[in-house]
Amino acid sequence: MSTGNNKLTQPSTTEQDHPFSILVPDVILDAVESTGLWCDSRIYPLNSYENRVYQVGVEDGSPIIAKFYRPERWSTAQIREEHDTLLKLESAGIPVVAPMVFNGKSLLKHQGLYFCLSKRLVGQHPEADNLDQLFQLGELIGQVHEGLSSRPFQHRISVSPLEQIRAAATLILENKHLPASLKDRYKQQIERLYERCEARIKAYWPAQLRPIHGDSHRSNLMLHDGQFHLLDFDDCQNGVAVQDIWLHLTQTENPRQQLSEIIEGYESYLPFDTRELDLIDVFKSVRVIHYAAWLQSRWHDPAFVRAFPWFGSEDYWLNHLNELANCEKEWGHISR
């Protein structure tokens, strides 16, 4: 759920005829077959909104996954850096799913859309409260971070929480979905969270960001043949290690036990700087604030209108404001 170029913008009217509209079955099959594979005409759309992702049947072989990138979200240099990273991790034996390479290329293009193909991985997502699995997830995140090394990405974005909050709030306030009667309350809530985030960042922020996955929630992890794999590096970025950890803390009463298991697994590969724990509240707040702005910024895409019909209702915004209030209420719950 990244903003790509780290900016949330409202689409222009020329984007109303969305470029993904060309992805009819024949176009999808033609794109896959342009690599030399022969499809059996079975196409199954997978759950993806930022991009379009399909499982496609292949003659005399296992189905493959075809991912079509949202235009103008990432530059070709950013996508290639993602692919190079995955291929490097895969060659090092780290359990990720890398793009397939055809004639030396992993990033392909068909009818103006960039796409890539990868092997299908079958398995289960981790159980939220399984401590043994949390230890394994910590190991995998540590292994990935070690494999990525500490040298920052050259083309991917760098996390900037305060900038993200300002950009998200500006987009929401400048558009019609937030009811006018709630705007003052929204502004006040955002300002309070912004001030808290700013104080935390001033108290501690790493001298150098490191390459991370950037969106390592449960749906991007798969238990396959007894081993967890980290999927979908679409949001990989220069960030903070704890960004890949905090999303697995599901217990609101006592997250410390979960956190302990993840960090213990992580430190099988790399030391973890516990000062980063104070940034969890920052990243949690940013994620809640950004989600509404993400829906607003994608409202020109018909898939979003169908999938999120409740967006813009007064009930949605009241619930969103309650989420923001809970971020403030729970501030310091994990780090103290």
Same domain, 152 and 284: yes
For the stretch 35-62, pLDDT in tens is 999 999 999 999 888 999 999 999 989 9
185 and 285 within one domain: yes
What is the structure's pLDDT at 2? 45
Its sign, for the CA torsion 210, 47, 314, 7, is positive
Boundary residue ending a domain (71, 91, 119)? 119
pLDDT reported for residue 332: 84
> Which residue segment(s) compose the domain that 108 sits in?
13-119
Same domain, 41 and 108: yes
Report the alpha-carbon distance of residue 244 to residue 206 in Å, rounded: 15
pLDDT at 15: 41
The answer to whether position 107 is within a domain reads: yes
Catalytic residue among 40, 60, 129, 232: 232
Do 102 and 142 lie in one domain? The reply is no
102 lies in the same domain as 143: no
**Of the residues 26, 60, 84, 215, which is catalytic?**
215
* pLDDT value of position 335: 64
The whole-angstrom separation of Cα 221 and Cα 226 is 13
In a domain, 109, yes or no: yes
The CATH number of the domain where 66 resides is what? 3.30.200.70
Half-sphere CA count of 205, side-chain side, radius 13 A: 14
State the Cα angle at 210 between 209 and 212, rounded to 5°: 125
Q: Is the same domain home to 283 and 252? A: yes
Task: Say if residue 107 is in the same domain as residue 244.
Answer: no
- Within a domain: residue 124? no
Told to judge if 132 belongs to the known catalytic residues of this protein, a careful annotator would answer no
pTM: 0.91
Q: Is residue 3 part of a domain?
A: no
Give the separation between CA 50 and CA 132, rounded to whole angstroms. Answer: 32
215 tagged catalytic: yes
Task: Report, as ranges of residue numbers, the positions in the chain whose pLDDT lies below 70.
Answer: 1-17, 252-253, 335-336
CATH code for the domain of 235: 3.90.1200.10
> For the segment 86-97, what is each residue's pLDDT rounded down to a tens digit?
999 999 999 999
Which of the listed residues 90, 119, 148 is the one where a domain comes to its end? 119
Among 119, 146, 170, the domain boundary falls at 119
If asked whether residues 26 and 165 sit together in one domain, one would say: no
Q: Report the b/e string of 219-252 with b at 16+ CB within 10 A.
A: ebbbbeeeebbbbbbbbbbbbbbbbbbbbbbeee
Residues 166, 277 share a domain: yes
Q: What is the predicted pLDDT for the residue at 10?
A: 52
